[in-house]
Amino acid sequence: MTLIDRFLTGQYTVTRTRKGTYIKGFYQAGLQETIQVRGSLQPTNGRELKLPEEGNRLKQYYKFFTDAPIVVINTRTLADSDRIEINGESYRAMSSLRWQNVDLEHYVTIVWRQPEQ
């Protein structure tokens, strides 16, 4: 049994945007794909809430533990961060860490609720 299986809170839909390209000087966003991941959604602690810049500290943040990596925004390739659907609301990946141990390899991603448009 993996760490994620022990603390599983559900199966979540992740929308991933592939790397975009420039065509004749204009940026074209990459294709989107939807995948399902099993994960454990946990509240963040006070120290983790101090990580974002001051204007973003009022947003809802969670720690998201998964067996599969979650992609954060990449300014070098212009790939957008993954969108995770949680209880009908859209969350964005802010940071991601890979934890490795003997049999407990998993990914910890800090996600924040995307503001309503």
- The tens digit of pLDDT for each residue in 73-84 reads 766 655 678 889
Spell out the domains of the chain, with CATH numbers in brackets: 3-113 (2.40.10)
Report the distance separating Cα 36 and Cα 22, nearest Å: 29
pLDDT along the chain (117 residues), means of 10: 70 86 85 90 73 58 86 69 87 82 76 71
pTM, entire model: 0.73
The torsion angles phi and psi of 57, rounded to 5 degrees, stand at -75, -10
